[in-house]
Amino acid sequence: MRSLKFYISLFVATVTFASCKDTPKKADSTTSNATPTIDSTKITEKGVTKDAQEEAFELTEDNAIDFFYNYEKTLKSNKVKITTSLGSFTIELYENVPYHRANFIYLTENGYFDYTQFHRVVKNFIIQGGNSDDERTGKKRNDLGRYLLPPDTRKGHKHHRGTVSMPSSEMDNPHMLASPFEFFIVVTDPGSYHLDDEYTPFGRVIEGMDIVDKINNVPVEKGDWPLQNIYIQKAEVLE
């Protein structure tokens, strides 16, 4: 007679064998029959990724001219209002200086000039704006890109009083390429014509020249930096 131990061993082996057989998994069945759903999280992530790529666009020496050539065609306004800590004035941009006009409006629409300063004031000559020692300004420049603009001095515009023009870059710059982030306004009466053919006039002050004069009359320290910070609180394109 076989022992009880033998039958117990046989029973355990049978159960173990049965448990090792392939059986349909409920999870697999559920997955194959599941109703397709939209993962809103992934859609959001894709949206963020696309936006991030668009925001990451940077202007360079290679793409700036083509970009502004096409961007200028979309513009419907040629006026920009500059509001400073001392008052506001309005600039009219020349349409026949397309790259500089497009650049100025592009920077305005992207909020670049907000919180920059009129950092250089030369008595009875010019006021120069678009720079700042604030870290925000440096970050904005880095985000926008590194590029210069070619001079455009043969469109018949002179450096009359109230003319808005673009300084050349302080970089190694034998061709007098313009620094796109800054601008200066002539306050000399009737004008500073020795600047003609050297710098690119791209607009003129049509309202608020008294504010420009007010800025030009603030006390300055060495290097023509105003003793009182003169902020551009907001720059906005007028429709």
Q: Render pLDDT for 23-73 as a digit per residue (tens, 0 to 9).
A: 333 333 333 333 222 222 222 333 334 444 455 789 999 999 999 999 999
Q: Render pLDDT for 108-135 as a digit per residue (tens, 0 to 9).
A: 999 999 999 999 999 999 999 999 988 9
Neighbours of 77 (CB within 10 A): 12
Q: Give the pLDDT confidence score for residue 177 in this predicted structure.
A: 83
Answer whether residue 74 shows pLDDT above 60: yes
Q: Give the pLDDT confidence score for residue 37 in this predicted structure.
A: 26
Closest CA to 89 of 218, 227, 177, 216: 216
Class of domain 64-238: mainly beta
By CB atoms closer than 10 A (0-12, 13-18, 19+), residue 162 is buried
* Cα–Cα dist 210/80, whole Å: 17
Comparing 8 with 208, which gets the higher pLDDT? 208
Comparing 151 with 20, which gets the higher pLDDT? 151
Comparing 54 with 171, which gets the higher pLDDT? 171
Give yes or no for a contact between 232 and 115, defined as CB atoms under 8 angstroms apart: yes
Residue type, 225: W
Beta strands in 117-213 (DSSP E): 117-122, 126-131, 163-166, 183-186, 200-207
Answer whether residue 201 shows pLDDT above 50: yes
Q: Give the model's confidence band at 2: pLDDT under 50 very low, under 70 low, under 90 confident, else very high.
A: very low
Q: Domains of the chain: which residue ranges? A: 64-238
Comparing 45 with 180, which gets the higher pLDDT? 180
Closest CA to 229 of 237, 239, 218: 218
Answer whether residue 193 shows pLDDT above 50: yes
Q: Give the pLDDT confidence score for residue 237 in this predicted structure.
A: 98
Average pLDDT of the chain is: 81
Structural tokens at position 232: 């551009």
* Cα–Cα dist 106/108, whole Å: 5
Q: Give the pLDDT confidence score for residue 170 in this predicted structure.
A: 67
State which H helix or E strand residue 91 sits in.
Answer: strand 87-93
Q: Give the model's confidence band at 168: pLDDT under 50 very low, under 70 low, under 90 confident, else very high.
A: confident
Structural tokens at position 115: 């919180």
Comparing 24 with 234, which gets the higher pLDDT? 234
